[in-house]
Structure formats: structure tokens, C-alpha cells
Amino acid sequence: MELNEIPHKISYRKVKYSRLEFVTGELHIVLPYGADPEAVYRRHRRWVKKKHDFIEECKKVGAKRDLVKRTAQDFKKSVHACAEKASKELNVTVKKIGFRKMRTKWASCNSSGNITINRLMKDMPGELIDYVVYHEVSHLKQMRHNDKFWGIIAKKFPHYKELEKELSIYWFNLNS
């Protein structure tokens, strides 16, 4: 697979090292000024192909998934109930929950205890909503995605890797 065969964007910035990332299905190559994008791509071709194939599979599977129809009000109630339950289980305090459309993630949590939820989650299955909310509340125990964090997640959701894949599938379904 050659670079011109996949959707991509090249940016030159004042950075020390090249970086490749997929943002909602598109390859972004961030390069220091003067770097050769083809050379960087060739060096990471296997990784790019693996990610690209995963995204294409998620799109294909996601197109067949039924979305859950719920009102915004029901969705917000569900999220608040999940957050309350998770905060009790984890013995942490969620200060505020906000909702907005987010372009690159399902949710976020800051160290002040504020959680932001992507409105696109409204049409996802309940188990995925529960998982995302629990994931964010868990950040109040451990901010980083390190072994301790994933240990907290695994106690409640031992199949969290499958849920992460499902989130990817729904991402491309809801963002198409």
C-alpha cells in the first residue's frame, strides 16, 4: 500500500520528531520542516496498513450495526445515573457532567472532577455508555492510561478490550 492510496494530510511544524496518527480515519503525518513524508511513511508502512485495515473493518461492521434511539433527556439521565453509580463504587466525586459534540473522542475527564461526554454517544448501546462513563470516572482515581488504570477498568469490565473495539466500530458508524 502506497501513501497516495490512503487518505492523508501532511503538516510541517516546528517539531523535533515525525509523528503519524489516524484522526477519524485519516492519516495525519506531522513532520519537522524539510523531512520527507515518503521516507517516514515507508519506515512505518506496516503500522499504517494495520491501522488502516482495522479502520476499514470497523467501518464495514459499523454500517451493519443498529443504533439505539433515545432522547437527549433519557441519554443525560442515563449518563448521570452511571456516573453516580461509578463514583460510589470508586469512592470519588464527580463535580460536573457536561455534554457536547466532540470531534476526536467519546469523553474526557479533568483532575477537577469535571467530565465531558460526547453527545454522539446518545445512540450507542447502554453497555458502551456505561463503559465510557466508568472509564472517565476511573480517571479520578488514576489520570493516566497506565497499568493501574487498566487494572481498575478490568475489575468492572474484564472484557474492556472488546468494548474498546466496539467503541471504534461505533465511532465510524456515528461519524460518517
Q: What is the reported pLDDT for 82?
A: 97
Q: What is the reported pLDDT for 1?
A: 81
- Do 106 and 140 belong to one domain? yes
- Do 55 and 82 belong to one domain? no
Mean pLDDT per 10-residue interval, the chain, length 176 residues? 88 95 90 94 94 93 91 97 97 97 94 96 96 98 96 97 95 84
Domain span including residue 27: 3-62
The answer to whether residue 67 is domain-embedded is no
Dihedral in degrees, nearest 10, Cα atoms 95, 101, 104, 106: 50
- Do 164 and 130 belong to one domain? yes
Q: What is the reported pLDDT for 56?
A: 92
- The CA distances from residue 52 to 5, 21, 36, 139, in Å, are 11, 11, 21, 29
Q: What is the reported pLDDT for 83?
A: 97
Q: Look up the pTM and report it.
A: 0.87
**Single-letter amino acid, residue 108:** S
